[in-house]
């Protein structure tokens, strides 16, 4: 493989995998792990929307349904968590 391809593979490995993983670990140390988990659940939807806007990639109906389910799940978790124990500290929920 040409050197350019290896550079692209390295870029994807670092920018798309290693750096976000380390950032998530750092976020869990500083923020409520539950909220970090909810945000992490939305990452595929954010990546898909970015690919659609920036790269002009087409979304299939299955991808749109999947994204809708993820967003609905994240929203329902947030609403349920806030309504079940609004006065408790985040670690108690």
Per-residue pLDDT reduced to its tens digit, 18-54:
888 888 888 888 888 777 777 777 778 888 888 889 8
pLDDT at 42: 77
User: Above pLDDT 70, what percent of the chain?
Assistant: 87
Residue 4 pLDDT greater than 70, yes or no: yes
Q: What's residue 69's pLDDT? A: 92
Residue 88: is its pLDDT beyond 70?
Answer: no
**Whether the Cβ atoms of residue 40 and residue 24 lie closer than 8 Å to each other:** yes
* pLDDT above 80 for 89: no
With a cut of 80, say whether residue 86 has pLDDT above it: no
How many H-runs (helices) and E-runs (strands) does the chain carry? 5, 0
Two structure tokens written together for 56: 């002009």
């Amino acid at each position: 493989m040409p050197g350019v391809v290896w550079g692209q593979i390295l870029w994807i490995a670092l920018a798309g995998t290693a750096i976000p993983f380390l950032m998530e670990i750092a976020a869990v140390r500083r923020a409520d792990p539950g909220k970090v988990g909810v945000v992490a659940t939305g990452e595929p939807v954010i990546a898909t929307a970015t690919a659609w806007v920036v790269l002009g990639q087409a979304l299939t109906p299955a991808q749109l349904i999947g994204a809708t389910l993820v967003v609905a799940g994240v929203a329902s978790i947030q609403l349920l968590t806030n309504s079940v124990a609004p006065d408790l500290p985040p670690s108690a929920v």
